[in-house]
Structure 1
Amino acid sequence: MSETLYTLLPDRAVIRVSGPDRVSFLQGLVSNNIETITARKSGYGALLTPQGKFLFDFFVYYQDEDSLLLECERGENGARAAELFKKLRMYKLRAKAELTDVSDDYDVIAVFGKDALSSLSLDATPGATAPMAEGIKAVDPRLPDLGARVLLPKNALAEMAAIGAQESDVETYHQMRVSLGVPNGSEELEIEKSILLESGFEELGGVDFNKGCYMGQELTARTKYRGLVRKRLLPIQIEGPAPDIGTAITNGDKEAGVIRSIHGNVGLALIRLERIENATDLRAGEAKITVLIPDWVQLPENAA
């Protein structure tokens, strides 16, 4: 029996960027290389402050020869998507690019489970993309273990049954995501505070160090080449009463990190790497905390 699950992601929005300058416009803003986005390859990137701090992250898809689609956070009452739309419009200036909120045209779906990619006839290459029922299917460009992202026209969910996928729920998906150590935008990244390389963007294919200038590039490059990553967003296992989000993780009498999200008995926390080396009693409130290091995470040689 196929182990393929799917869930609608209601907190996602879609913005279309069209026009002859769509690529060059985004290229000067986004952390990843927009020139690599094609009908066969989707991507993931972020928009930063001029000081290199996180503002928004999103997936980038090729829609047609004149348009790209940005799949982004919707936020409460659409607030996050509206903020991104406003920010992009502010930077558009004289670029020949048009912005359109097309969220009402699409369902955004996560397809996951052991057989997710084979059910969609996709290989396990990050970002590998193909058409699906007048929509788009793409291997998650961050990590193939997350499965795939699917953008379908509204009322086309029968396509999920056609590939043998069983409906799941959002929480099951997020428990899987968190256990793999992958952040979900502002749920775990602090707006105007978080740094991409502390949040796994290099390993998750969200930043290109060879593409040229983009907003916030200087701090991102300096963080990498000077070896300034001292904290990492990492998955944690929680034993005991679930602490509140924002609770400090302690190692004895020293703070070792802070909890950013919790889904079931797993979560994501921003961890001070020097404080978890040889740590035997990490706590958050009354809960025992175990820090997990996913295979894809590349820590400094002198870190845990």
Structure 2
Amino acid sequence: MSDAPIFARLDSRALIAVGGDDWRGFLNNLITQDVTGLAPGEARFGALLTPQGRLLHDLFVVGREEGAWLDVEAAHREALFRRLAMYRLRAKVTLAADDAPVSALFSAEPGSVPQRPGGGFWAADPRLPDLGWRGYGAAAPAGAVVADEAAREAQKLRLGVPGPADWGVERTYPIEADFDLLNGIDFKKGCFVGQETTSRMKRRGTIRTRMLPIVFEGPPPPPGTEVLAGERRAGEVLTGGPGRAMALLRLDRALGADLTVEGRPARAEVPAWMTEAVAEASG
């Protein structure tokens, strides 16, 4: 297998440029991530939640020399733009759509991370080192294999990293979607929208449900298909591909159990980056 890095343009992502004297405080009071010390060229992962604490929009805040980009779902950029404008009030904050393309540079081999490219604007993906680099208005580096976004989604599935198609809008709590394990929530930063529910889930100590991969033979079951442990419901299938899918699982029922989906044998697989948290939950 080639060890050349893979470059994929992420057409599902789009940018909002944020600026003005108050942009840091404005974002800090809204999202799950602390951006007060964000440096130019650095990306931080987070989300805007509903007041009830459910995921509304995921985002990466990417530091620039003046202000930041918000790297968001393209399909929801306008909705997020309107939501931010509603919260802005009298804050000295500017918001504008930016059509620079978003891309990813990563390795096909787990544990192998490409070197930072020399040209263009690149930021390390803050969730996991294996996720490589996120590019903004950047071209494919010399020697990179150019692929489509499906290659990136396949890599995320191999790593057990959920995405927007798994958590949806106003359906899921961020801890269920592993945001706390993927550097997506700063519990020390102070207030943000939905903080009370999020902090309460964290303080309880044991998280009962999380997203993690399941493996099986054959094509992926449709989203929403029940995952069973014997006759008991252990969770539901989210998105996936042949032989592997993300699922929202009850850890106490799914871990180490003989599972089935559509009558087919399946098992939960715990990615290395989740091992400690899952062990605590099952202990």
TM-score of the aligned structures, taking structure 2 as reference length: 0.92
For structure 1, the 5+ residue unaligned runs are 122-131
For 1:36, the aligned partner's letter is G
CA offsets, 1:44-94, max 9 Å, x none? Answer: 1000011111100111111222x210000012xxxx111111111111111
Where does 1:7-26 land on structure 2 (aligned, <5 Å)? 7-26=8-27
Give 1:146 shift: 1.1
Where does 1:1-304 land on structure 2 (aligned, <5 Å)? 2-65=3-66, 67-75=67-75, 80-102=76-98, 104=99, 106-113=100-107, 114=109, 116-118=113-115, 120=117, 132-133=119-120, 136-152=121-137, 157=139, 160-162=140-142, 164-185=143-164, 187-280=165-258, 282-297=259-274, 298-299=277-278, 301-303=280-282
- Where 2:127 maps in the other structure, the secondary structure is coil
Q: Compared with structure 1, are the counterparts of its residues 120 and 287 closer, same or farther at alpha carbon in structure 2 (3 Å cutoff)? A: farther
Which residue in the other structure is 1:127 paired with? none
Q: Is the 8 A contact 2:206 2:280 kept in 1?
A: no
For 2:264, the aligned partner's letter is A
Task: Kindly report the root-mean-square deviation, in angstroms, between the aligned alpha carbons of the 2 structures.
Answer: 1.7
Give 1:302 shift: 4.9
How many residues are matched? 277
Give 1:246 shift: 1.1
For 1:303, the aligned partner's letter is S
In the aligned structure 1, how far is the partner of 2:80 from the partner of 2:106? 27
Q: Is the 8 A contact 2:113 2:129 kept in 1?
A: no
In the aligned structure 1, how far is the partner of 2:155 from the partner of 2:215? 13
In the aligned structure 2, how far is the partner of 1:241 from the partner of 1:18? 46
- Where 1:26 maps in the other structure, the secondary structure is helix
Q: Compared with structure 1, are the counterparts of its residues 119 and 43 closer, same or farther at alpha carbon in structure 2 (3 Å cutoff)? A: closer
Give 1:278 shift: 3.8
In the aligned structure 1, how far is the partner of 2:256 from the partner of 2:41? 45
CA offsets, 1:165-220, max 9 Å, x none? Answer: 111222222111012121222x0113212111111111110000110111111111
- Where 1:36 maps in the other structure, the secondary structure is coil
Which residue in the other structure is 1:129 paired with? none
TM-score of the aligned structures, taking structure 1 as reference length: 0.86
In the aligned structure 1, how far is the partner of 2:203 from the partner of 2:194? 15
- Where 2:17 maps in the other structure, the secondary structure is strand
In the aligned structure 2, how far is the partner of 1:60 from the partner of 1:96? 18
Q: Taking every aligned residue pair, what percent have the same amino acid on both sides?
A: 36
CA offsets, 1:226-270, max 9 Å, x none? Answer: 125100100121313431111111111111110110133222100
In the aligned structure 1, how far is the partner of 2:116 from the partner of 2:64? 22
